[in-house]
Structure 1
């Protein structure tokens, strides 16, 4: 069973301006899917730019456990020799997904319509997260799930021997739920249909089509209707993973808050279902230019030039934008604390069931740093103190959450007094080069 290692306390403090090039890692969402779809394909899938954070490494181990041959050739360069749709072997041991909600939910989906049994677990954080949002639709295919009270890990999934296709309307905006249902539909006969009222990141749809699945998307009064024809033969592909916008958010926001900063973040995904943060920052007055727009690996990308302005304004973020930036609200709340005026973030209740309750974690940490916060189940309101106006000086709890840790370390680069986090070790799950990259830009972040 996965366990969380020794905590790594860290502290950040205001220092020199950030300068240079921030080459952030490959996109985590696409990295997970490249390994999973490679394992479900026939032939050898070649992947470049794969994120080698712990979440993705755990997915690689899981694909090996289901019978695929997964090989690392060099930094970011991997290959997957797949077993084909319906070809998963029954794993001999428990599948440990560490901290990754994406990993465990997608893997549950892709094995749920094969007549095998697998048991899943994770670290202390993942084992608190709800799995019923995935296991409920998987039961419609004929799969059975046996877990802890509240539908939590550890959990055993018994795959359907005679799966049937389903039509499913997602009850909340969730790319993980949508993707799990589509992956389950691969080994079901006929057409599986997912209806989502609010659009979520569409990497699964793009990549399934790229691997040879017959999949269509139609915008209707009901929402986005995604139709997948089951039992295709997926064909191995070359996948070039673009750089992760969720990881890019941290050096981008740090540069906006550290006086005199001017950085370039190259090759960042500009998928319209993922770029809500950058749109929001520009609306707040951020100096961000999108240079050299192009397409890489089927995804739109651009180089982001980011300069400090010191004149950010609070805004009300449109509720409908939440799905395109759900992982970026923690660091946005830090930017909001350093802006002038009030920033209102609504429609964010999904943050309550991430690696931690991110609304509560950010609210308590920001309050400890001298920022006034309002919150309810679905809303976070930050009353900004302006550039260099946040007192800081607190130690913030990360709750084993990588994005909470990085967000408060960004805050320390702009606050009057240093900001500490009780544990920076979870950062390795998604951004293993965070410390080195930020140090290379001139940020003063150190382990205590």
Structure 2
């Protein structure tokens, strides 16, 4: 998105060839941005400048990309033209008021279906910078407001109840936009320019998470994961697993594109239950399904609190994981904002992933150590975030196969 709004050509390496990122790129192409693919995992983006996007009467399809829709809402709120953002069946059930309400305070006009997509964004409105304290920590909402702030008069400041991932802030700085940020706070003013830059995207920690848990719970395992992004606002699972006794070591730490990167070596180790510190929750919000599997295989109980955000992801992840683990024989006491998981032995069974890619991949890990096969239904959305997951997993010793 930032490369599209920059002046000049940006070369992105390490582009995730997933459905979410491709959907976002397709939306930008509809808006007049030329994007070339010189090779898999690479994109050349010919930026059109802050005011160079062109409106279209066609609907802009975000697919399953909740991040894409929320961030695009902020970006498009400052344009001179109208636009309509739509998504697939799953995305159409995800709440958008957390973004549209603060954008309205900035002067945007966005119509929705009682807070759900589609979003019709009316262009031509002058935005005003605001100071906004997020009621719930969310990097998506923060990023949407910062993108709208590029077009706003005055300063836009976002304050968080807990620090969240700061990729947008770091990337804005890399593209030359003046921004002040620290954990829990970000502030910028409108009226500047974005300058094209080349970007090397680190390997995704959220994708690595499934393999961190798998190697931790399968006896005899050892995996070496290379050049993984280690932004401290993203690696809460790493700390949680270490609290549970996981054998995880970081090697070759370095910086790439303004982001900390390192190689992760993980070996099997017996895990024990913990009371998860709530301070870790915002830094591992996407990794909780994998953590649930680790907790199910740990000795004793794991207590999770402060994770109500999981109920409004691609599925209600608290309910989906609790139900699935019970199906496999694990005792789970679900609460409004978390759960207590009593570790035990996993049986086989049939799991409904509810079209949620992270639920599906997490139960694939569970199947590695279950007594009987685990059959996971409705897995088509795995490709949204992790194309090639089955092939890579089988190459590491999984035994996964698609049926039906």
Could you say which TM-score interval applies, normalised by the shorter chain?
Answer: over 0.9
Q: Equivalent residue for 2:285?
A: 326
Distance 1:91 1:137 in 2: 25
Shift of 1:87: 2.4
**Secondary structure of 1:192 counterpart:** strand
Shift of 1:396: 0.8
Unaligned runs of 5+ in 2: none
1:304 matches 2:268? no
Distance 1:115 1:139 in 2: 16
Q: Deviations over 1:26-46 (max 9, x none)?
A: xxxxxxxxxx00011000011
Q: Equivalent residue for 2:121?
A: 157
Task: Check conservation: 1:86, 1:113, Cα contact below 8 A.
Answer: no
1:295 matches 2:278? no
Q: Equivalent residue for 2:351?
A: 396
Q: Equivalent residue for 2:167?
A: 203
Shift of 1:226: 1.4
Shift of 1:160: 4.3
Relative contact order higher in (CA < 8 Å, ≥ 6 apart): 1
Q: Equivalent residue for 1:269?
A: 229
**Secondary structure of 2:387 counterpart:** coil
1:344 matches 2:303? yes
1:52 matches 2:7? no
**Secondary structure of 1:447 counterpart:** coil
Q: Equivalent residue for 1:117?
A: 82
Task: Check conservation: 1:49, 1:77, Cα contact below 8 A.
Answer: yes
Shift of 1:423: 1.9
Q: Deviations over 1:142-176 (max 9, x none)?
A: 21111212x11122111343221121111110000
Shift of 1:84: 1.2
Shift of 1:92: 3.0
Task: Check conservation: 1:141, 1:160, Cα contact below 8 A.
Answer: no
Task: Check conservation: 1:69, 1:81, Cα contact below 8 A.
Answer: yes
Distance 1:203 1:413 in 2: 33
Q: Equivalent residue for 1:143?
A: 108
1:187 matches 2:166? no
Shift of 1:281: 0.6
Unaligned runs of 5+ in 1: 1-35
**Secondary structure of 1:153 counterpart:** strand
1:371 matches 2:330? yes
Q: Please, which of 318, 327, 342 is the counterpart of residue 383 of structure 1?
A: 342
Shift of 1:371: 0.3
Q: Please, which of 166, 177, 201 is the counterpart of residue 213 of structure 1?
A: 177
Q: Equivalent residue for 1:91?
A: 56
Q: Equivalent residue for 1:81?
A: 46
Task: Check conservation: 2:109, 2:125, Cα contact below 8 A.
Answer: no
Distance 2:124 2:376 in 1: 44
Task: Check conservation: 1:142, 1:159, Cα contact below 8 A.
Answer: no
CA RMSD across the alignment: 1.0
Distance 1:400 1:122 in 2: 14
Q: Equivalent residue for 2:389?
A: 434
Distance 1:203 1:241 in 2: 11
Distance 1:231 1:381 in 2: 49
Distance 1:170 1:66 in 2: 30
Shift of 1:435: 0.5
> Which TM-score applies when normalising by structure 2?
0.98
1:315 matches 2:270? no
Q: Deviations over 1:233-280 (max 9, x none)?
A: 100010000010000001111111222111111111110000110111
Give the count of matched residue pairs.
Answer: 403
